[in-house]
Copies of this chain bind each other. A is one copy, B any other.
């Protein structure tokens, strides 16, 4: 596992309860951070000796290859910011290991028409290497977090079991999370990597339509109020660039694929300001003789999402709203969803809910791959695999499963 930030740390805590692996190498650029994760896991599970800490530079494919070879890794699990996707992806391939990630190689907007046409799409660099992976009999399972990840599993499940014809596969993500300071006042603190949030929210959103293919829009387009389950309620959602739109149409038949994120007014306002001021930029600027990337500064002034868990209350919901014709030939509208309450994830795993929800899915996938339930080669999304064993293993009570139920609302 490359990266022991919020998601990597939570993945280790979840994996420690499972028996499907012999060794889990927790690697980070900051060795002390990797060691902290290993120490935490060992504290929680006395006698646990399968976790080892290592240092790795995720920007170097060679470093990833060397580390994977040193430990004879069968799988390289990428748990760092998406800007490091390509070196880890290539490093895993060179080491002869299978590869998993939770975000795909980054996009580049169309140079002339960024808000109508795609340029380089999310994952394009990875799919370009699909032939090599297939030829070598190796698997790159891309986008296997919660979104992308569980949302894609839902798409395959809907197509196989619920619908005869799908009009729209619409990922809808929303939450009612609130962060408070020591005095109980609400503060702004994103529950996920601010670098990644800026990247996905300010890039031109991508939409897929049958007959038209992929196209882009202006940021924050097509606002709609979506009613989230389990007490979260209505949240304003807008189009956001996300991997599902690039993944689902490759394996699941639908007329339209969208991703809308329940950012809410305040967060949209903040992102618009960051964009208007140029604070979203990644190219370094010179500040009093020092070179820094403005986006890195924004991330640095905000609380680390991995640390806000104790000050957070509320629930997060990931899900897929599917519309079309049911297997009975009748019109159908179904929201498949997965809700995590922060109080539960903090008590049970000491992990913040958004981070925990992201982390559990690749661990489930690794277990399915380790046990041979899932297998394949090439560069594949979660939709390429049978959804039912995944959803069963995720929801089944412990110790057989992961004890994290998902839901299905007919609307």
Contact = CB atoms under 8 A, between A and B. Distances in A.
A281 B302 CA distance: 12
A377 B147 CA distance: 70
Contacts of A302: 277-278
A297 B287 CA distance: 6
Nearest to A194: B277
Contact of A270 (B277, B287, B296): B277
Contacts of A285: 297, 300-301
Q: Which of A277, A278, A290 has the most CB of B within 10 A?
A: A277
A290 B276 CA distance: 25
Given A269-B269, A292-B292, A300 B277 contact: no
Interface residues of A, number: 26
A274 B301 CA distance: 11
Contacts of A292: 287-288, 290, 292, 297
Contact of A287 (B278, B279, B300): B300
Nearest to A280: B301
Contacts of A294: 297, 301
A293 B286 CA distance: 12
The quantity of this chain's copies bound in the complex is 2
A296 to B, nearest CB: 5
A276 B186 CA distance: 10
A288 B59 CA distance: 14
Contacts of A277: 188, 270, 298, 301-302
A172 to B, nearest CB: 26
Contacts of A52: none
A291 interface: yes
A291 B287 CA distance: 10
Contacts of A297: 279, 285, 287, 292, 294, 297
A276 B281 contact: no
A302 B273 CA distance: 12
Given A288-B292, A292-B290, A298 B273 contact: no
Interface in A291-311: 291-294, 296-298, 300-302
Interface in A255-278: 269-270, 273-274, 276-278
A301 B286 contact: no
Contacts of A273: 269-270, 273-274
A91 B291 CA distance: 32
Contacts of A286: 300
A347 B301 CA distance: 42
A119 B103 CA distance: 49
Given A290-B291, A292-B287, A296-B288, A301 B276 contact: no
Q: Which of A278, A281, A287, A288 has the most CB of B within 10 A?
A: A287
A270 B274 CA distance: 9
Contacts of A300: 285-287
A296 B285 CA distance: 11
B290 A278 contact: no
Contacts of A296: 287-288
Given A290-B290, A292-B288, A292-B292, A279 B276 contact: no
Contacts of A301: 277-279, 281, 285, 294
29 contacts: A187-B276, A188-B276, A188-B277, A269-B273, A270-B276, A270-B277, A273-B274, A277-B298, A277-B301, A278-B301, A279-B279, A279-B298, A279-B301, A281-B301, A285-B297, A285-B300, A285-B301, A286-B300, A287-B292, A287-B297, A287-B300, A288-B292, A288-B296, A290-B290, A290-B291, A292-B292, A292-B297, A294-B301, A297-B297
* Shortest Cβ-Cβ A-B pairs, 6 listed: A273-B273, A278-B301, A287-B300, A188-B276, A297-B297, A285-B300
